[in-house]
Amino acid sequence: MILSIEQVSISSSKKKIVDNVSLSVGEGEWFALVGQSGSGKSLLSQAIGQMLPANLKVEGKIYFKGLELLSLTKKQFQSIRGKKVAYIFQDYQGSFTPFRTIGQHFDEYHRTHGELDAKSRRLESIHALESVGLDENLYDKYPFQLSGGQLQRASIAIALMLSPDLLIADEITTALDSVSGHRILELLAKKQRETGCAILFITHDWRHVRRYASRLAVMREGEIVESGGKHRILDHPKHEYTKRLIEAAPILDQGLPSGLEEVEER
């Protein structure tokens, strides 16, 4: 397993928010962590990258390729986050400083984690943009000059630019319309096939789970209530909470409504 979370709890001074959670993600696997807002799934994903607020306490063990992450200092973890473990967030706009060009964001990412010269950094960054279907001229544009779908593509490009082993995607289609969201996930699936990275996919949308995940875990109020293979859980859920979520979900179709695949992104 590339990622193993063992009996992890996250607490504030007032209450336990995540309670004794264990799960694992295999190499090259698309693993979905499913739950309603407030279930603790995003906090759990942030604990992997040492990104939790200082007022929250984490207990348990988190292993990445056998390395125990919670025992590392912030400085030690810098060589892992971004290069080996990368994130794509729901707030893709917040990932970009408005007064810096897209290219400046990519260049900083390279300078933080690599040793390329300026010319090579630019070439690699443009290649990364083109790999997600973006034009080279976007390199010198500012974030506000890109559409939401373009910005989310750019966030995927920068996250995958250094070929991480694990990508954590946290509700990445929530702020997009259904057509753009579909395209983003198809792009992510394509990039996963090309790079072989594992994906921890945080979502509440069962349609995306059915289409992309191989295994999943269902989280409720800080606890994992059910986990296993996708088809077993979707077709034969055991926990009452899982049954209610699936029954309340939109039709679990295999794609977009007829004709939407051909709509051009604006």
Q: Is residue 212 part of a domain?
A: yes
How much is the pLDDT for 257? Answer: 42
Question: Which residues touch 174 (CB under 8 Å, ≥6 apart)?
Answer: 90
Beta bridge mates, 3: 25, 64
Task: Find, among 213, 214, 190, 207, the residue nearest to 255 by Cα.
Answer: 207
pTM value surpassing 0.85: yes
- For the chain, what is the domain count? 1
Q: Is residue 217 part of a domain?
A: yes
Whether residue 77 is predicted with pLDDT greater than 90 in this model: the reply is no
Whether residue 74 is predicted with pLDDT greater than 60 in this model: the reply is yes
Q: Is residue 38 part of a domain?
A: yes
Q: Is residue 258 part of a domain?
A: no
Q: Is residue 256 part of a domain?
A: no
Q: Where are the alpha helices (DSSP H) in 70-205?
A: 74-77, 102-113, 118-131, 148-160, 178-195
Residue span of the structural domain in which 168 resides = 3-250
- Residue 86 sits in a domain whose CATH number is 3.40.50.300
Mean model confidence pLDDT for the chain = 87
pLDDT tens digits, 97-155: 989 999 999 998 888 877 788 899 999 999 999 988 899 999 999 999 998 888 888 98
Burial of 264 (0-12, 13-18, 19+ CB in 10 A): exposed
Q: Is residue 264 part of a domain?
A: no
